[in-house]
A and B are shown apart, each in its own frame.
Chain A
Amino acid sequence: MNDQQAIIEQGRLIYGRPEALTDAPMHYCPGCTHGIIHRLIAEAIDELGLREKTLMVAPVGCSVLMYYYMNLDSVEAAHGRAPAMATGLKRTQPDKVVFTYQGDGDLASIGAAEILHAANRGENISVFFVNNTVYGMTSGQMAPTTLPGQVTTSTPYGRDVEIHGYPMRMAEIIAGLPGASYVVRRSVYDPRTIRQAKKAILTAFKAQLAGLGLSMVEFLSSCPTNWHLSPADALSYIRDKMVPYFPLGDFKVMDAVAALG
């Protein structure tokens, strides 16, 4: 009997791996918040008892290998196309729970058409949108969400809004579409925001289970590697630099979603 089993036997286990997570070691950089968000989604799936009926659509980006970490039936979409694949899955298997997990380059740039139309159709899927203001996997180029003045490998002099335009506030844009049921922005930079993020994930899934249309949680997330910050400083950067431009909050909560509690 190993230590963990002994702890379980004695009823002392207070924190374990959710069933919806595999035991594969994640490849994320130290201080990256993908791992936290993965875990929150897995916890929510476990708590709602959805693991065996959940279908995940993984993106292109740093979380491209997410299907190894989530113990869920999964597909890997082309860059930006996750909402279209999710549409195909959900329309043919309406009794399943379908979610996409997408980064800012994936959702806000190359996949802008797919997410806007999926939301507008009210596709009954959940979208988890991880915004860290850079293309992480390709080593930190400008994303549609890169902050004004932010230095990236493709904006070496800082993002000049006269040249590159302004960062896109996707939650606010999608909240304006009638098919969206629940659109909120959260973060994961401290225990309080992490708890709030978890609650939003649960609400997003509940909205889907109630058949209310597209639910989306945007997460302000860290990228210490490409921001050239320590893990701790990266979390402060979210709070001090990102939140002022991307305010946390609820941008659309249908009455029927609010009624879910």
Chain B
Amino acid sequence: MARELWEGNQAIAEAAVRGGVEAFFGYPITPQTELLEYMSARMLDLGRVFLQAESEVAAINMVYGAASGGARAMSSSSSPGISLMQEGLSYIAASEVPVVLVDIMRGGPGLGNIQPSQSDYFQMTRSAGHGDFHPIVLAPATIQEAVDIVYDAFPLSEKYRTIVIVAADGSLGQMMEPAEMPPMRPLLSEEERGAWAVRGARGREHNIITSLYLKESELEALNQRLQAKLRLIEENEQRWEEIETADAEYLLVAFGTVGRTCKSVLREARAEGIRAGLFRPISLWPFPWQRLRALAKQVRAMLVVEMNTGQMLQDVQLAVMGQCPVEFYGRTGGVVPLPDEILEALHAVDVNVDVAFAGPAVAGAAEMRVGRHE
């Protein structure tokens, strides 16, 4: 199939359609709205379910209902809308219903603005709702990668009976670039649906989808089962891209849109003779810490770059465990860091590391320099 010019939000929607989504429930919010609008026509044309809900709260519970019945169901939103969905996400996680959600992140906190941001890293990877759980969180850097991730998201969510969040941002949602669409995957047949699904108790015991376990021993058993599953996901699903790390002395660590920007930074740094490499986490949860820990032994220092005040930074620090200095450059409020700014921050890391190596107080010294490079 040929490469075509796609807008990010619409490409994600079409990839979900081709991936076999049967029901889409959503609520308008910038910068995600084109995804919902695309679905409003496409799903109906295909005889599938589209419904604009009265709120994000209702949308995620409609997804919960549809997915409880074994249907491939999804929603999409942007940061404030995801906050409203957190209640539903917690119930979905507890009852182990496979669901796909797209977050086209915008600036926060509060109403914030509608510019691109990565400030919901914690929300998605750490606190997607009350209780102990993590969704699988996958962060594309290009529209093609978003298409591929969304296309595979349903089988992935069903494999582990878990939530898969596709974590993009406003720039990826709104930009246009060529992408190749995968073929149309057939919809699930009755036999392919989970035996756990609520489809009518015909010739079997009645199925119950619940997140209520009143006995403490039973709730602890659920948590132990969930944790065992999360460990398995950690083992199997760590994903990342690395570029020019073989001889790297300095490592840029960035995800999503900024990960893409850092590829330009890398070229310029290399042209200047700086032996820089790039590590771009694709799975934000599970974070690809094992490979990063190995790289920490090799490089002199790392520079984490994010469109937030240092959220993935904490995962990098946990992975590195003080084996090398970890510095940070972040922009917020919808400001997208430019390659020149990042390169300057990389130069500063070089200086700091040379100084720092003279003294002992180096390990884990992640200095925050948000907004310093105006």
Q: Could you tell me which A residues sit within 8 Å of B by CB distance? A: 22, 51-55, 57-58, 64-65, 67-68, 70-78, 81, 84-89, 91-93, 96, 113-114, 117
Q: How far is the CB of A93 from chain B (nearest CB, A)?
A: 5
A114, B210: Cβ atoms closer than 8 Å: no
B208, A76: Cβ atoms closer than 8 Å: yes
Closest to A97 in B: B200
A58 to B59, CA, bound (A): 18
Extra inter-chain contacts (11) besides given A75-B208, A87-B65, CB under 8 Å: A55-B200, A65-B212, A73-B200, A74-B208, A75-B68, A75-B209, A84-B57, A88-B62, A89-B65, A92-B22, A93-B69
A84, B87: Cβ atoms closer than 8 Å: no
A85, B54: Cβ atoms closer than 8 Å: no
| Contacts A51-B201, A89-B68 given; does A114 touch B61 at CB 8 Å | yes
Closest to A22 in B: B206
A77, B61: Cβ atoms closer than 8 Å: yes
B206, A75: Cβ atoms closer than 8 Å: no
Residues on A with C-beta less than 8 A from B245 are none
A81 to B84, CA, bound (A): 13
A54 to B203, CA, bound (A): 13
B147 contacts partner chain A, Cβ-Cβ < 8 Å: no
Residues on B with C-beta less than 8 A from A114 are 54, 57-58, 61
What per-residue 1/0 map shows which CB atoms of B66-102 lie under 8 Å from chain A? 1111010100000000000001100100010000000
A84, B202: Cβ atoms closer than 8 Å: no
B356 contacts partner chain A, Cβ-Cβ < 8 Å: no
A78 to B87, CA, bound (A): 8
B40 contacts partner chain A, Cβ-Cβ < 8 Å: no
| Contacts A88-B68, A92-B23 given; does A117 touch B58 at CB 8 Å | yes
Interface size on B, residues (CB 8 A): 40
Residues on A with C-beta less than 8 A from B88 are 78, 81
Residues on A with C-beta less than 8 A from B63 are 88
Closest to A86 in B: B65
Most B C-beta atoms less than 10 A away, residue of A53, A57, A91, A96: A91
Closest to B197 in A: A73
Residues on A with C-beta less than 8 A from B23 are 88, 91-92
A75, B198: Cβ atoms closer than 8 Å: yes
Most B C-beta atoms less than 10 A away, residue of A52, A68, A71: A52
Residues on B with C-beta less than 8 A from A86 are 65
A75 to B87, CA, bound (A): 16
Query: Which of B66, B201, B202 is within 8 Å of A89, CB to CB?
Result: B66
Residues on A with C-beta less than 8 A from B91 are 78
A55, B55: Cβ atoms closer than 8 Å: no
Closest to B54 in A: A117
B209, A53: Cβ atoms closer than 8 Å: no
B176 contacts partner chain A, Cβ-Cβ < 8 Å: no
B25 contacts partner chain A, Cβ-Cβ < 8 Å: yes
Q: How far is the CB of B369 from chain A (nearest CB, A)?
A: 42
B211, A76: Cβ atoms closer than 8 Å: yes
Query: Which of A70, A74, A84 is within 8 Å of B61, CB to CB?
Result: A84
A76 to B90, CA, bound (A): 13
Residues on B with C-beta less than 8 A from A117 are 53-54, 58
A85, B55: Cβ atoms closer than 8 Å: no
B113 contacts partner chain A, Cβ-Cβ < 8 Å: no
Q: How far is the CB of A137 from chain B (nearest CB, A)?
A: 11
B73, A88: Cβ atoms closer than 8 Å: yes
B66, A113: Cβ atoms closer than 8 Å: no
Residues on A with C-beta less than 8 A from B206 are 22, 67, 70-74
Residues on B with C-beta less than 8 A from A96 are 199-200
A78, B61: Cβ atoms closer than 8 Å: yes
Query: Which of B64, B71, B199, B200 is within 8 Å of A85, CB to CB?
Result: B64
Residues on B with C-beta less than 8 A from A64 are 212
